[in-house]
Amino acid sequence: MENRYFNEMYENGAIRPPYRRLAEWTETMPAELRNLKQAEAEELFRRIGITFAVYGEGGDPDRLIPFDMFPRVFTQREWRRLERGIKQRARALNAFLVDVYNRAEIVRAGRIPSSLVYRNEAFETAVAGFTPPRGVFSHIIGVDLVRTGPDEFFVLEDNCRTPSGVSYMLENREIMMRMFPELFRGDRIEPVDGYSDALRRTMASVAPAKCDREPTVVILTPGPLNSAYYEHSFLADLMGVELVEGQDLFVEGEFVWMRTTQGPQRVDVIYRRVDDAFIDPLCFRPESMLGVPGLMDVYRSGGVTIASAPGAGVADDKAIYCFVPEMVRFYLGEEPILQNVPTWQCGRAEDLKYVLDHLPELVVKEVHGSGGYGMLVGPRSTAEQVAAFRDKILAAPGNYIAQPTLALSTCPTFVEDGIAPRHVDLRPYCLVGERIELVPGGLTRVALTEGSLVVNSSQGGGVKDTWVLAE
């Protein structure tokens, strides 16, 4: 069955050029050394503290995310095309957000149904009529990509709020360079360690109108119990900025202030890793202890920038996703460089009929779902599971979309008995501020279970280093 999938290392039985060095590397590596290095990688992850908590698990709350030592490789030509497509998508998504919170021209033109925007639970009326600095709502966009052939890439979804995982991208590279320095000699692999500088530059470039000096940037975290807390503290250290919780900030006058041992310090840009509902109890959930009372008033008056902006989530809803190619045409006057996966919206009668008739063949997802939860992978499900999911769809059709089961590409992966192909996806991180930047690469997630198409870390997936070869 595996031969139905594009193997990124082999084509027509021959090793593809970008993987030739790795083929030689693995051929000369004894199994004992491989096992030793795998144990070394796990020890490094444990020592550094790279963990991933999964809510609702009764086991180790600080479990390691599985790391595979076999890198994934892209040529410069492949990366340039992906980079152009991702930047194009980032421009369109931000233009859409500015539009729907103001004149909503795309809705008036009949290109997107108004109900998908204004009945969307991620649409925040609190920012209606407001445009953030530089017209940027979504400052960090994680675009999930899958590959089905040598030149076939598809966007699976857009993450416009607080996409996680960038710490794994950076640490995967650090650990590979520590363990196998010989692979990096000759400067053939593009570096990713410029991400933290680019992130800080992006944050500073969107300082609010009232900032008249070098901007003070902070990262707002929900705290140590959050599953991505390691990443929050890791990025704060790399950027050289303060990691704060809601109780460390307060509003006075026209500004937000941070409590410090030297007294209050004004804050200009908040890179928040707290959901919209919890960032200001006076505006959203009154019971929230994670946010800053009065923050939204300061934000709307131009006293502070929140990145990504409240309300950005309406752009990464899975029903809105269907219309991103139309956004590219409408706002940019261009054809999309990267294609969407064909998608059926169960809220449409004819789409619903098709989905119900073909349920065992399709992947069905909740519109607001994430992390691989709330989905059906038809070909991998039992008749009972399909029947139960059919009932869920019929109870609330508008809550679901369906897509064909794509033949996701595979990448060689170290397994117990050697090397075997496993399915992968890719999440590059696009930074949007005064300019749009991507570091060359991203987070490759790998489905470690044979035959599985679910790569999410919360569902048992692992991670790989991602290489873009220099010219």
β strands within 150-287, DSSP E: 152-159, 217-220, 242-244, 249-252, 255-258, 265-267, 269-272
Q: Are residues 27 and 122 in the same domain?
A: yes
Is residue 228 one of the residues assigned to a domain?
no
CATH number at residue 361: 3.30.1490.270
**In this predicted model, what pLDDT tens digit does every residue of 231-271 receive, in sequence order?**
999 999 999 999 999 999 999 999 999 999 999 999 999 99
Q: Which residue has the higher pLDDT, 415 or 275?
A: 275
| From 137-141, 452-456, 463-467, the region with the lowest mean pLDDT | 452-456
CA distances from 237 to 232, 233, 258, 390 (A): 9, 6, 17, 47
Is residue 297 one of the residues assigned to a domain?
no
**In this predicted model, what pLDDT tens digit does every residue of 328-368 receive, in sequence order?**
999 999 999 999 999 999 989 999 999 999 999 999 998 87
Which H or E element spans position 321?
A: helix 318-321
CA distances from 455 to 61, 65, 120, 316 (A): 20, 12, 27, 19
Strand, coil or helix: 339: strand
CA distances from 82 to 147, 170, 273, 412, 440 (A): 11, 19, 26, 21, 10
Region 294-302 average pLDDT: 97
Is residue 266 one of the residues assigned to a domain?
no
Q: Are residues 348 and 452 in the same domain?
A: no
Is residue 62 one of the residues assigned to a domain?
yes
Query: What pLDDT does residue 2 have?
Result: 42
Confidence of residue 282 (pLDDT cuts 50, 70, 90): very high
Q: Are residues 362 and 449 in the same domain?
A: no
Distance, in Å, from the CA atom of 414 to the CA atom of 38, rounded to the nearest integer, reads 9
Is residue 239 one of the residues assigned to a domain?
no
Distance, in Å, from the CA atom of 37 to the CA atom of 21, rounded to the nearest integer, reads 18
Q: Are residues 104 and 184 in the same domain?
A: yes
What is the β-pairing status of strands 443-446 and 462-468? antiparallel
Q: Are residues 460 and 380 in the same domain?
A: no
Distance, in Å, from the CA atom of 393 to the CA atom of 376, rounded to the nearest integer, reads 11
Q: Are residues 365 and 427 in the same domain?
A: no
Confidence of residue 296 (pLDDT cuts 50, 70, 90): very high
Distance, in Å, from the CA atom of 118 to the CA atom of 441, rounded to the nearest integer, reads 35
Is residue 85 one of the residues assigned to a domain?
yes
Give the HSE-up count for residue 69: Cα atoms under 13 Å, Cβ half-sphere.
29
Judged against a pLDDT cut of 90, whether residue 118 lies above it is answered with: yes
Helices 166-179 and 229-239, axial angle in degrees (round to 10) = 70
Indicate the pTM of the whole model: 0.92
Q: Are residues 420 and 395 in the same domain?
A: no
Q: Are residues 386 and 412 in the same domain?
A: no
Is residue 299 one of the residues assigned to a domain?
no
Query: What pLDDT does residue 459 have?
Result: 67
Domain count, the chain: 2
Out of 369, 384, 404, a domain closes at 404
CB of 170 closer than 8 Å to CB of 189: no
Region 33-57 average pLDDT: 75
Residue range of the domain that includes 386: 342-404
Judged against a pLDDT cut of 90, whether residue 456 lies above it is answered with: no
Is residue 146 one of the residues assigned to a domain?
yes
Out of 368, 389, 404, a domain closes at 404
CB of 125 closer than 8 Å to CB of 361: no
Out of 378, 404, 430, a domain closes at 404
Query: What pLDDT does residue 62 have?
Result: 60
Q: Are residues 346 and 464 in the same domain?
A: no
Cβ of 129: how many Cβ atoms within 10 Å? Answer: 9
Q: Are residues 348 and 200 in the same domain?
A: no
Q: Are residues 43 and 105 in the same domain?
A: yes
**In this predicted model, what pLDDT tens digit does every residue of 181-240 receive, in sequence order?**
989 986 689 999 999 999 999 999 999 999 999 999 999 999 998 888 989 999 999 999
Query: What pLDDT does residue 186 have?
Result: 64
Q: Are residues 112 and 181 in the same domain?
A: yes
Cβ contacts of residue 455 below 8 Å, gap of 6+?
Answer: 372, 423, 424, 425, 445, 446, 447, 461
CA angle 342, 308, 462 (to 5 degrees): 60
128 dihedral zone (left: phi>0; alpha: psi -120 to 50; beta):
beta
